Amino acid sequence: MLEINNQYNHIRAKVQTEVLKQFFGDTLEQDVDKIPFYIIPKERVPARCCIYKERAMIRYRIMAMLGINIEEDDDEMKSLSEYVKEVLEKDTPPVPILTTISTACSACPPDRYLISDACRGCFARPCLANCPKDCISFTNGKAHIDESRCIRCGKCEGVCPFHAVVHIPVPCEQACPVDAVKKNEEGYVEIDYKKCISCGRCATSCPFGAIVERSGLIPVVKMLKSKEHVTAMIAPAIEGQFPGTLSQIKSALLASGFSSVVEVSQGAETTSVHEAAELGQRKEEKLGYMTTSCCPAYMELVDKHIPFLSEKRSSALSPMAYTALWCKEQNKDTKTVFISPCLAKKVEAARMKSVDGVMTFVELASLFLAKGIDVREMEGSDLGDTSLFEDCREFALSSGVASSVLRRVENPEEVAVLSIDGIDKRMFRSMKIWEKRPPEADLVEVMCCEGGCISGPGTVVKPSVAKRLRGGNNATTPVKSMRTPIVRG
């Protein structure tokens, strides 16, 4: 995964903020075609081949933000203004949630291992001795890899004392746990949506920004503008994403046009209670292990790739689902918007009637910027009585779901827990063998993103920063909260 702090993300935030500013200023349809020129002025030193290509990319970026399927609906004769007009008239759920921009794709060369100039042609030659395919030879005193025989096992890379072997991956292919991202015959990226589990790893790994998420932001801001009653359902991971406490974040949301704010930790509590009861029952009936069911990318993984796990996962609904149902019970006319770091949640939401919109933290950040809202300057709002579900804010962290469930089980010491902290290619393979060799645990917690939702594709800050700003009033004094006490050994 790329570092969050990078030029692509900065430009994306700029584009998003500008589009939102124009949307709220009622000039979007009229001026949207000027945004590429505003973002990429002619004085700019381009990071792609030229500013014209960069502007073309901004156009695609805006299309993705409008929720358009670029692969299928890219009509170069059509202006952005025409797209905006269509999108403002009619909402369509952005599924599949990812789309590719082949013009942005650099058609990276296939995954390979190369011997660099650092090779000293040493006497021990561990690369030669450890290559299982015998594809390393020495010419002119330097190692050489025979591409046609190399199986990309990486053994030579690990054994070279000079780090002379370089692995050059194809970032998107490498990131995809289920091999849904592949290069086509021309070498450009393509996603097989029958296999894709919408985890978003490819989108956050491509250094060219060729894989983008189709945003559901426009339907949400339309609701905000129309003055309907809109409920913001904030995922537990939101704490630490902005420079302010949960109650300040609530105020900021109210200031940006939401009518009420509900913590999804509340629904997480219901999920925990349900899973705790189900776990007890399964144990009594000796049905073996049970997995959690709150991670939507994992749900997709089971449905598309590991069907035998469908009876192993808990029947509990996700925290988002319970929260949305509760909101609709309180006020049947409210529109519910789920705000989270997750892309796969959009797929789950599209299947549900009770969730009317989804946005990511990154999109929320742009909304705050567009409206000139400073979370830190907000007077805190009352969060109400949170004592019942406060501990479920841990759902955002790896192993937090399991501990929330354990606190609601009768005999927690008798429950063996296994935490799956991130699903990559290797973990996917391990999970497939569970059919024959079940994991030695009663409760298996599955998180598709390493570290949990705080590492999700729609986060604003690094997990290491977010973690330190979570809890209590840490976020009110961000700089102080980050200070590590000096440990003397």
Partner 1 sequence: MAKREKVAVKICVGTACFVQGGADLLLYDEFLDPIVLANCEIEGVSCLGKCKEAGSKEGAPFVQIGDVVHGDMTEKKFCDLVAEAVHA
Cβ(431)–Cβ(197) under 8 Å? Answer: no
Sign of CA dihedral 311, 315, 319, 323: positive
Site map for partner 1, 237-276, x if CB under 8 A?
A: -----xx--------x------------------------
Q: Single out the residue of 44, 133, 376, 432 in contact with partner 1 (rule: CB under 8 A).
A: 376
Residue 488 in the binding site for partner 1 (CB under 8 A):
no
When asked if residue 235 is in the footprint of partner 1 (CB under 8 A), the reply is no
Binding residue (CB under 8 A) for partner 1 from 48, 195, 222, 462: 462
Total residues contacting partner 1 (rule CB under 8 A)? 28
> Which residue in the set 52, 464, 472, 473 belongs to the binding site for partner 1 (CB under 8 A)?
464
The rounded distance, in Å, linking the Cα atoms of 337 and 441 is: 36
Beta-carbon contacts of 182 under 8 Å, excluding residues fewer than 6 positions away, are: 173, 189, 190, 192
Q: How far is CA 142 from CA 120, 128, 130, 164, in A?
A: 7, 11, 16, 10
Shortest Cβ 482–partner 1 spacing (Å): 5
Residues in the chain: 489
From 101-109, 111-119, 286-294, 373-381, span contacting partner 1 (CB under 8 A) = 373-381
Among 179, 377, 410, 435, binds partner 1 (CB under 8 A): 377
One residue of 365, 406, 420, 431 binding partner 1 per CB under 8 A: 365
Which stretch, 49-57, 207-215, 294-302, 363-371, contacts partner 1 (CB under 8 A)?
363-371
User: Exactly one of 258, 368, 389, 395 binds partner 1 (CB under 8 A); which one?
Assistant: 368
Stretch that binds partner 1, among 147-155, 191-199, 444-452, 480-488 (CB under 8 A): 480-488
Q: Which of 140, 479, 487, 488 binds partner 1 (CB under 8 A)?
A: 479
Residue from 352, 373, 417, 441 that binds partner 1 (CB under 8 A)?
373
Q: Which is nearer to partner 1, 189 or 261 (CB)?
A: 261
Binding-site ranges for partner 1 (CB under 8 A): 4-5, 10, 13, 242-243, 252, 365, 368-369, 373-377, 460-462, 464-465, 468, 477-480, 482-484
